[in-house]
Amino acid sequence: MSGIETFEPGSEEHNLVTETVSKTAMSKTGATVRYNEIANAYNAASLGAYVSITGGDLRMSNLEKVFFNRGVHRDVDYSLFRPTVDVEGKRLHRDVRPVLLQKLTDAVMRTV
């Protein structure tokens, strides 16, 4: 017994596999949805604008990797940082600092 099976088109097993594949192919993880929201906000922003990203457990290194894979490059197309003070000059606690994403070029960030 080899453990390899073939499901012919029209069979019940083939239909079940096709249905399962189509459902899982269309599902997106929470992170993908979140990064798509960020990409859409970035794409809608004008040159020089800042996109403030709050909430969630965002890591700068993860954002850089995701943005690179979506076609934009740090310090060329965008700048990314966490401010240490708010607009009034008050120091922000480390846990509440937003991520600021500044659009530097007209490059479009891909969505998934």
Helix (H) or strand (E) holding 101: strand 99-103
Give the global pTM. 0.74
Beginning with the edge strand found earlier in the chain, give each strand of the sheet holding 50-53 in spatial order.
50-53, 99-103, 78-81
Q: Which amino acid is present at 106?
A: D
In a domain? residue 111 = no
In a domain? residue 92 = yes
In a domain? residue 3 = no
pLDDT digits (tens, 9 = 90+) for 13-57: 888 888 877 666 656 678 888 999 999 999 999 999 999 998 878
Average pLDDT over residues 75-79: 96
In a domain? residue 80 = yes
The domain total for the chain is: 1
Share the mean pLDDT of the chain.
88
3-state secondary structure labels for all residues of 34-74: HHHHHHHHHHHCCCCCEEEECCCCCCHHHHHHHHHHCCCCE
Domain extent for 80: 12-103
